[in-house]
Structure 1
Amino acid sequence: MMSAPLSKELRTKHNVRSMPIRLDDEVQVARGHYKGNTGRVIRVYRKKFVVHVDKITREKANGSTVHVGVHPSKVVITKLKMDKDRRDLVDRKATGRARVLGILKGKHSEETIEE
C-alpha cells in the first residue's frame, strides 16, 4: 500500500495522520518541481511506486503529453473519496490513535480488573 499524509484540515477532522492513496483522491504536490499543483489521482502505479495526477503532465520529444509520476510521500491528500470500507478504515485508525493518546479507554475498567 502506498500511503500519503492528510492535509491539516482532514487530519483534525478525522483524527488520522495518513491514509493509503487511492484512485480519485484529490491531492496537492508538496515537494519537487511540481510543488503546489493540485489534481485528482488517475492512476496508482504500484510497480514503480508512483501516483499519476491528472493535471501534472509533460511533453515528450515527439509532441505527445504524458502524465508524470509523483512519489506518494511528496503529495498531501486534500480530499478523500469516501466509501463504506474507507469510512470503516478511518474510524478504526482514529479509535486506535485515541486509545494510544489516552482519550478513549478500553472496554474494561479498573474495578472489573481487580475482581
Structure 2
Amino acid sequence: RRKSRNAHFSAPCFIHRKIMSSALSKELRTRTTCARSLPIRKDDEVGKYKGREGKVTQIYRRKWVIHVDRVRRDKSNGATAATADSVHRTLLAPFGIHPSNIVISSGSCLNALPVLPLRLNRSAILDRKNRKSATSRWSR
C-alpha cells in the first residue's frame, strides 16, 4: 500500500493526465463503442455533480482537481462559497472537484483541436482503443 500510494502521488505530470480521467456519458459511450473514460481536458462539458452541469475551466494536476464553471459550494450559513468572478474582477479560490466524480457529457469531447500535442484529436485515441479491443484475446 505504501509503495502504491507513493507511486501514485509522486507520478510525473504526463501520468497525472491519464490518472485524472473522467467517465463518458451513456450517449457518448454508445458513439465511441469501446471507451468508458477519457482524460479530462479544458472546455469539456461535464455534468453529474449534484445535478449541475458546466464547462471545465481549469485542470489543476498538482492538486488532482478540476475547476468547473457554474459550480458553487454552499456554506453552512447559506452563503455561496467564493469563486472566480469576471464581473467584479475579483480572483477568488474556485471549488475543486476530482475528475472521477464527474461525467463528460458533451462539448469538445471528440473535436479536433490541433494546437498542442496534448490537444490531439480524441478520435485518434478512440481509434487506437478500438483497434486494441478488436485484436484483444478476450473479445472473440
Q: TM-score, normalised by structure 1?
A: 0.73
Q: How does 1:67-86 map to 2 (within 5 A)?
A: 67-81=94-108, 82-83=111-112, 85=120, 86=122
Question: Which runs of at least 4 in structure 1 moved beyond 3 Å after TM superposition?
Answer: none
For 2:38, the equivalent position in structure 1 comes to: 19
* Partner Cα separation in structure 2 for residue 12 and residue 41 of structure 1: 23
Tell me the distance in 1 between the aligned counterparts of 2:58 and 2:65.
9
> TM-score if structure 2 supplies the norm length?
0.61
* 8 A Cα contact 1:6 1:19, kept in partner: yes
Q: Which amino acid aligns with 2:51?
A: G
* Larger Rg over CA atoms: 1
Unaligned runs of 5+ in 2: 1-16, 84-93, 115-119
Letter of the 1:91 counterpart: D
2:43, 2:57 within 8 Å by CA — same for their partners in 1? yes
Partner Cα distance (1:78, 1:98) in 2: 25
| Partner SS for 2:27 | helix
Percentage identity across aligned positions?
A: 45
Q: Is the 8 A contact 2:46 2:56 kept in 1?
A: yes
Change (3 A) 1:99 1:22: same
Q: Which of the two has greater strand per residue?
A: 1
Structure number with the bigger relative contact order (C-alpha 8 A, sep ≥ 6) is 1
Matched, 1:40 2:55: yes
- Give the 3-state SS of the residue equivalent to 1:57 in structure 2: coil
Residues 57 and 67, structure 2, Cα contact 8 Å, conserved in 1: yes
Following TM superposition, by how much is the alpha carbon of 1:59 offset from its aligned partner in structure 2, in angstroms? 7.2
Partner of 1:65: 82
Q: CA shift at 1:80, angstroms? A: 4.6
Preserved contact between residue 59 and residue 65 of structure 1 (Cα < 8 Å): no
C-alpha deviation, 1:97, in angstroms: 2.3
Question: Residues 25 and 41 of structure 1 are in contact (CA less than 8 Å); yes or no, is this contact kept in structure 2?
Answer: yes
SS at match of 2:96: strand
